[in-house]
A and B are shown apart, each in its own frame.
Chain A
Amino acid sequence: MKKQIPILITATVGTVLVLSVFFPPAKMLGEDFSLFFDIIAVFAFFLGGGNLVRVHFIKVYRRKSDWVYSVVTLVGFTMMLASGLFKLGGPPGISGSVTADGSYLNTMFIHIIAPLSSTMYALLAFFVASASYRAFRAKNREATILLIAAFVILLGRTPLGMMATGWVWESLSIFQIPNLAVWVMNVPNLAGQRSILIGVGLGVVAMSLRLILGMDRTYLGGDND
């Protein structure tokens, strides 16, 4: 029963959602199932939060390696949760917004999380530079094409591209670097992306069918029996 019920729910919901696209009478049911999904999705926050506390608490309790970072995680989590749940610093009451100006949650989000996240993302520039130095080498024909495409895109994504080739006649404007960059994105990239998308789409259909028919049960946790 532990496996049959989830498989039955998956098969019913999956079938109705597919039918709702093709048969108008099933549309209302499809909408309701989408709504159920949104309600259930809210519980993922409880599960996620609970799991985060459990994992890091065990790490701190057992003094595992780098347990100090887990303390930071737990303190940060508790601070954010408390400021959001109790609406500290913000407008009180059930209708008071947790993201209102002056609330602790909003202040911590804007002044701590936002700059820290942006900083981490910005560090990518350094690694991209180092990786480009090592990876973009004209070792063979394919690598050379990749190298040229990278140069066109790098130049085309800056005003320098137009500064360098803006003088090219209008009739030959395709050879202006920004236009070449658009061509690279619009033709070779597009062809590759579309073929991947079609492949992924077919894969999704196959995978969905396996799930609906109960042939794939890995989502139930572990074995496939």
Chain B
Amino acid sequence: MTNIGVIISMVFIFGGLLAIMIYSLRGKDIDRRIIFLFVFISVATSVIFNVEFKEYPTVIVKKVFDKIESLPPGSKVLISFDFDPAMKPEVFPMANAFVRHCLVKGHKIYLMTIWATGQALMNETVETVIKEEFPDAVYGEDYVTLGFKAGGVGVLNVIITDFRKMYPTDEHGTSLDSIPLFAEVKSAKDLDLVLPIGGGQPGPKEWILFIGDPGDVPIAPGLAAVVAPLIYPYYPKQAIGLLGGVKGAAEYESLLRQVYPQFQDVPAPALRMMGPQTMAHIVIMAFIVIGNITYFRSRRRGAE
């Protein structure tokens, strides 16, 4: 049934695009509502019929994966949820994949956010990933949630020298001095890896500038697709690798499934989203071609 649905949808989409391409030979622009309709159908079809593609991890994503793999068990990894619900579909899968990977490797994870909107999303990860998939993980010994503090880069500027000045307690009001995970951690310099996830300001770039550089702490950011090009100048020295958009998250999920077969059945939202994204890209490329046909035809007619 699914296959028939996919075939019918593809015939409709590609048939429609072909018809529009032929129409564009007249040199007339098409209504933008037609473009909207095709984007809608291509995305909806992929979501409804669960169209999935095989992912091929790129070097830049593999480097992040390999870094977490190479750290000895018990390493201290900080994950910062610096995003809002608008970015959630793109970057939340990265956060969950990082948490899974760190916990399965036996690393200690520190969760925090410098975005007010990040705290609820951080807690969602705790409830849906840590507590459900890793019931043996102990709060304070395997993971800790620091919550949100206002101040943006000011927060980073303080935790690079002393966590306790900015966070006297964790999210639940427990003194950091009584949390085992902080027994050997005074500042962000004591961390083995920082994984800032986001796409705004303050965000991964500020983590590189205020924590990575002065503290000599490896940074591997997870980014919304629109800001990924802005972080490339920091790769590979200041950012050891990076995950860009849904594609980066999907590559990471695919690597996680390859290396740890126990994650085959856990949700992989980024891999699922790559179907709709791929179809949308095909439609956009088709319309770029159509736009150029229209342009050249209309220019030729003008010349005649």
User: Interface residues, chain A, CB within 8 Å of chain B?
Assistant: 27, 30-31, 34-35, 37-39, 41-42, 44-45, 95, 97, 99-101, 106, 109-110, 113-118, 120-122, 125-126, 128-130, 132-134, 136-139, 147, 150-151, 154-155, 157-160, 162-163, 166, 178, 182, 185-186, 189-190, 193-194, 197
Contacts and interface: CB of A to CB of B under 8 A. Distances in A.
B229 A193 contact: yes
Contacts of A133: 30, 32, 35, 284, 287-288, 290-291
A41 B151 contact: yes
B216 interface: no
Contacts of B38: 129
Contact of A134 (B36, B150, B165, B291): B291
B171 A190 contact: no
A95 B172 contact: yes
B82 interface: no
A9 B255 CA distance: 52
Contact of B247 (A125, A138, A158): A158
Given A41-B151, A129-B280, A129-B283, A110 B124 contact: yes
21 contacts: A31-B162, A34-B151, A37-B154, A39-B151, A116-B85, A126-B35, A130-B36, A132-B284, A137-B291, A147-B292, A154-B281, A157-B247, A157-B281, A158-B277, A158-B278, A159-B55, A160-B53, A182-B59, A185-B232, A186-B232, A190-B232
Given A31-B158, A35-B158, A178-B56, A130 B274 contact: no
Contacts of A114: 85, 88, 121
A39 to B, nearest CB: 8
Contacts of B225: 157
Nearest to B165: A35
Contact of B280 (A100, A125, A155): A125
A181 to B, nearest CB: 9
B120 A106 contact: yes
A101 B127 contact: yes
A118 B233 contact: no
B129 interface: no
A99 B113 CA distance: 13
A10 to B, nearest CB: 16
A178 B229 CA distance: 15
A38 B162 contact: no
B39 interface: yes
B284 A154 contact: yes
A53 B161 CA distance: 38
B92 to A, nearest CB: 10
A117 B86 CA distance: 4
A38 B166 contact: yes
A38 B158 contact: yes
A137 B56 contact: no
A153 to B, nearest CB: 9
Contacts of A158: 53, 247, 274, 277-278, 281-282
Contacts of A35: 154, 158, 165-166
B149 A38 contact: yes
Interface in B143-173: 149-152, 154-155, 157-158, 161-162, 165-166, 171-173
A197 B285 CA distance: 31
Given A130-B32, A130-B35, A136-B291, A34 B278 contact: no
Contact of A129 (B58, B172, B284): B284
